[in-house]
Every structure is written in structure tokens, then in C-alpha cells.
């Protein structure tokens, strides 16, 4: 039997009893249970879906104190942050409940018959959407609630009419087990099958690959590293029947600022940026890992203020020892590739110090190692000599969840070019503020070109996240009873 051990994030010592990792038989049983539950859930009404999602939100809130304390031990993220994350998780569950109640998953296009021959004439058609089936949902390390067992992927999949098999993250196994217990109690209270939300766990890649390759799994949803997501995407494609795999992967989230914006922002802006770089110990998918500044006296003065602001920051411990080691490896790789350290205080402790380095644009463009995400409280400044060179830097980045553009208040050819360049590589553009923080709302787009995500047309946050788990079907000359269902699957 393979076991899974949790660790106290602050001490590195084992936490609680070891848990059994899921065997091949366990994975098969979980997927089959989810498939059996999907048979009825896919045709459920919006009211039933809303009732479950609302019940899950209430269950999380009812167990808040114990859940937050346990998640804090396993993640080291702190009680204020985790309480806020639990609030967000309950909010998005209720938001998808509202969407389900409103019939968002049943939206359809009615195209009545037109008399006459083609091309103008055509039969009556109705374009509807049907749920894909059981979804393999991979929990993230850095959000024990919001991107975990009851995170946005689970909420949107249930709202779309899919069942879910969660692959719990080994970084917080006891928190996942406790949340899963709440899920099972809620399902029982609503007389819904236990398999509607199943869970498997394991520290190795075998569990995840086995799950995504199970023939009854219809889609995958993942939040994590580019390396891990790419491996699972390959596994999904290698199936006899490939399935869609929605992965939110690595992102360096460039912040582009004009000299004028840096001059006017001054120390306050430097403090804000320093706080964003170190927020959550830099363990956010939207951490500003790249700062693209055009050379000027104002820009140099701002960087001096940023160094000062970072020096007083006190990041907490990282999620796991492996991530702590990866941070050091990533910063060393940047220095080896030609970057010059502006703030580098190596420490052996689990709690790292902020890191800031700089490099010229030509070196950045020529060195692929500088384009890699460094997960933690670290950022790299790239100095450019012109807007044209700034655009070349953005092109070298390849793909990002966000690009932040400061100082584009006027309609100029240069500013239009920057918006075009940023739009080509990112799913979300910000013109004020910092990229950390992703609102759960109708217009959100949390996904961008590779390597930030596997499917840049989709989002893992926001209302349209449920569209990932619905497939369009056209009904031609359908019988009256089927037309009367108004998009609700059978």
C-alpha cells in the first residue's frame, strides 16, 4: 500500500497520520461512480443544481474554524488569507448556483424553418448544449479552498451538469479529506448519489495520469505547473478517444510601465508593487514576475524605491519544501543566464527573502531561461530603449495570464501598439493596479496563450467557466416535446 504524508508548512515536520494513496481499483471505482451519477445529473433542472451548490457553500462556512486552522497548518498561508479564500470559495459556489438557477447551461439558439430551397431555405434547427460527462479535476497547491475540492472547476462543472472526480493535492491532503467529508454529507442530505463528487489522492504522477486516461472521464481541469499540466495534457491526447484538457499553467505576468507612470506613481506605487510581488509569498498564478521598464531617470528612481520597499517585506513560508527549493533553483538560473541581482539575500529557511534582478532587453530576448516562471517572491526587471523593443520583449514571453500596462491614458500610436502587443499574449489586460487578485465575474478571462493555459479560448475563473464542460449539438426538425425542453438535456 502506498501512503501519503502531510507536513506542517512552517516546521517541515509530519502532520497527522499517513493517508492511503488511491490504488488503480480505487480510481476505477470513483470514476465509475461518477459516471453512474452523471446519467441523471446531466438532465437535472437548474433548481436542483443550485440547491446542491448552495448547500456546499453553506457546509464550508459551517465548518470554517476547523477548516481554516487545518489548511493553515498544511499551507502556512495564514488565517486572514485563508478566511478570505474560504469566503471566495463560498461566493463562487453561490454564483454558479445562481447561474444554474437562471438556466445558463441551457442557453440555446432557436432557428425556425425557412420555406424554399437552399441556400436560403432550411429546416427547423435548435442549437443546444449537452454536458460532457465526468470531469477529472486537479486541485492546485496554492489555493486549498478556491482551486481545490470545491473550487471553481468543481462548481462550474456541477453547474454545467457534469459529475466530478477530484484529484486532491498532496500539499494539503487532510484539508481535502475534511472538505470531501462535507461534500458527501451534503449529497446525502439532498438524496443525491455519493459518486456525483468523488475524490482520489496520491503524491506521484501515476494517480493523475490514470485518472485522466480512464475511458469514462470526459474532460480534465487543472491548475498548476507548466510541466505537470503538459504531462497530463499529453496523457489526455494519447487516449484512444482524446478528451479536452483545460489547464491553467505557468505565467510571468509582465508589468509594462512608461517612465511618466513610474514618476507620477512614486513611492506609493513602489509599495503597491512590492506587496504584489510578495503577496502569498509570491505563490499566485498572477504574481508579477516580469517588470518591463523603459530606461529613464524616473524609471531608475522608481527601481530604487522598489528595492527599498521589497527589503522590508517579510514573506511567510512557502507551501512545500520542494517549492522552496525550486525558488532558489529558479533565481540561480536567472543569474546564470545574465541577470544582475538587485536584491538577493540567500537563506536556508523555509521562509525566503524577496528577490529582484535586472537584465537588458537583448539578453532577455536571447535567453529562454529568463522567460521561465519563478514561483515565489521574485521578479525580473527588463530594461528597454523604446516601445518597439518593449513589444519584442512581450513577443518573447509567449503567453501570459495577464499583462499590466501603466501610463496608457492617451490615445497614441505607441499606446495602441502596446495594447495590441499585450492582447496577443495575454487573456487579461490591466491598466491600473496590480495583477494579483482575480475577480469571479461575468467578464473575467483567466487563461491565455501557451504556456499560461492549454486552451486560450476558455477561462477557469468567471461565469463562462461552465462553457468548458458543455458541447454544442444541433437538433434538426426535432419533435415538439424535445423543442419544449428549451435546451435542457434529456
Hey, which residues are catalytic here? 248, 285
In a 10 Å sphere around its CB, with 0-12 CB exposed, 13-18 middle and 19+ buried, how is residue 186 labelled?
buried
Compute the distance between CA of residue 265 and CA of residue 279 in angstroms, rounded to an integer: 20
Calculate the CA 28 to chain-centre distance: 26
Q: Per DSSP, what are the bridge partners of residue 131?
A: 470
Strand residue runs (E) in 86-163: 109-111, 125-131, 135-138
Alpha carbon 212 to its chain's center: 18
Q: Report the distance separating Cα 204 and Cα 206, nearest Å.
A: 5
DSSP character at residue 66:
H
Q: Coil, helix or strand for 244? A: coil
What angle separates helix 79-102 from helix 46-62, to the nearest 10 degrees? 170
Helices (H), 199-287: 205-212, 226-237, 259-278
Neighbours of 330 (CB within 10 A): 18
Secondary structure (3-state) at 306: helix
Per the listing, cell 458541447 goes with 471
What length does the chain have? 490
Residues 6+ apart with CB under 8 A from 65: none
CA–CA dist 154, 250 (Å, integer): 21
Whole-angstrom distance, CA of residue 199 vs CA of residue 189: 19
DSSP 8-state secondary structure symbol assigned to residue 337 = T
- 362: which residues sit within 8 A by CB, 6+ positions away? none
User: How far is residue 162 from each of residues 43, 148, 197, 199, 219, measured CA to CA in Å?
Assistant: 10, 17, 10, 15, 10
Give CA–CA dist 201/149, Å, rounded: 11
Amino acid at each position: 500500500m502506498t501512503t501519503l504524508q502531510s507536513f506542517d508548512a512552517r516546521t517541515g515536520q509530519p502532520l497527522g497520520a499517513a493517508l492511503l494513496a488511491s490504488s488503480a481499483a480505487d480510481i476505477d471505482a470513483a470514476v465509475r461512480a461518477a459516471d453512474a451519477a452523471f446519467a441523471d445529473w446531466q438532465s437535472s433542472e437548474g433548481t436542483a443544481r443550485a440547491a446542491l451548490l448552495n448547500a456546499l457553500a453553506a457546509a464550508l462556512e459551517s465548518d470554517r474554524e476547523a477548516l481554516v486552522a487545518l489548511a493553515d497548518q498544511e499551507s502556512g498561508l495564514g488565517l486572514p488569507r485563508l478566511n478570505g479564500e474560504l469566503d471566495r470559495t463560498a461566493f463562487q459556489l453561490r454564483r454558479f448556483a445562481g447561474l444554474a438557477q437562471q438556466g445558463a447551461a441551457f442557453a440555446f439558439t432557436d432557428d425556425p424553418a425557412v420555406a424554399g430551397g437552399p441556400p436560403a431555405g432550411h429546416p427547423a434547427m435548435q442549437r443546444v448544449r449537452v454536458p460532457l460527462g465526468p470531469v477529472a479535476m486537479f486541485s492546485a497547491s496554492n489555493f486549498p479552498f478556491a482551486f481545490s475540492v470545491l473550487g471553481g472547476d468543481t462548481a462550474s462543472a456541477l453547474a454545467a451538469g457534469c459529475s466530478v472526480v477530484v484529484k486532491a493535492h498532496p500539499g494539503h491532503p487532510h484539508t481535502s479529506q475534511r472538505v470531501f467529508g462535507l461534500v458527501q454529507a451534503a449529497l446525502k442530505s439532498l438524496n443525491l448519489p455519493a459518486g456525483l463528487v468523488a475524490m482520489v489522492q496520491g503524491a506521484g504522477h501515476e494517480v493523475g495520469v490514470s485518472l485522466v486516461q480512464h475511458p469514462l472521464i470526459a474532460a480534465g481541469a487543472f491548475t498548476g505547473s507548466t510541466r505537470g499540466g503538459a504531462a497530463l495534457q499529453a496523457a489526455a491526447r494519447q487516449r484512444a478517444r482524446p478528451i479536452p484538457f483545460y489547464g491553467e499553467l505557468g505565467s510571468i505576468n509582465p508589468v509594462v510601465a512608461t517612465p511618466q507612470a513610474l514618476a507620477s506613481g512614486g513611492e506609493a506605487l513602489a509599495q503597491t508593487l512590492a506587496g504584489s510581488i510578495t503577496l502569498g509569498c509570491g505563490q499566485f498564478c498572477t504574481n508579477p514576475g516580469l517588470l518591463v521598464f523603459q530606461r529613464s531617470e524616473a524609471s531608475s528612481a522608481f527601481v530604487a524605491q522598489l528595492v527599498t520597499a521589497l527589503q522590508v517585506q517579510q514573506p511567510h513560508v512557502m507551501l512545500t519544501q520542494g517549492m522552496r527549493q525550486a525558488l532558489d533553483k529558479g533565481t540561480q538560473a536567472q543569474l546564470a543566464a545574465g541577470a544582475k541581482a538587485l536584491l538577493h539575500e540567500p537563506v536556508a529557511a523555509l521562509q525566503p527573502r524577496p528577490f529582484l534582478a535586472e537584465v537588458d532587453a537583448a539578453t532577455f530576448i536571447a535567453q529562454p531561461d529568463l522567460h521561465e516562471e519563478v514561483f515565489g517572491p521574485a521578479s525580473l526587471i527588463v530594461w528597454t530603449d523604446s516601445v518597439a523593443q518593449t513589444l519584442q520583449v512581450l513577443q518573447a514571453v509567449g503567453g501570459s495570464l495577464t499583462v499590466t500596462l501603466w501610463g496608457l491614458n492617451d490615445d497614441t500610436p505607441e499606446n495602441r501598439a502596446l495594447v495590441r502587443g499585450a492582447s496577443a499574449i495575454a487573456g487579461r489586460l490591466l491598466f491600473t493596479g496590480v495583477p494579483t487578485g482575480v475577480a469571479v465575474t461575468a467578464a473575467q478571462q483567466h487563461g491565455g496563450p501557451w504556456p499560461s493555459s492549454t486552451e486560450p479560448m476558455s477561462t477557469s475563473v468567471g461565469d463562462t467557466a461552465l462553457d468548458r464542460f458543455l458541447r454544442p449539438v444541433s437538433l434538426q426538425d426535432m419533435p415538439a416535446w424535445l423543442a419544449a425542453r428549451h435546451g435542457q438535456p434529456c
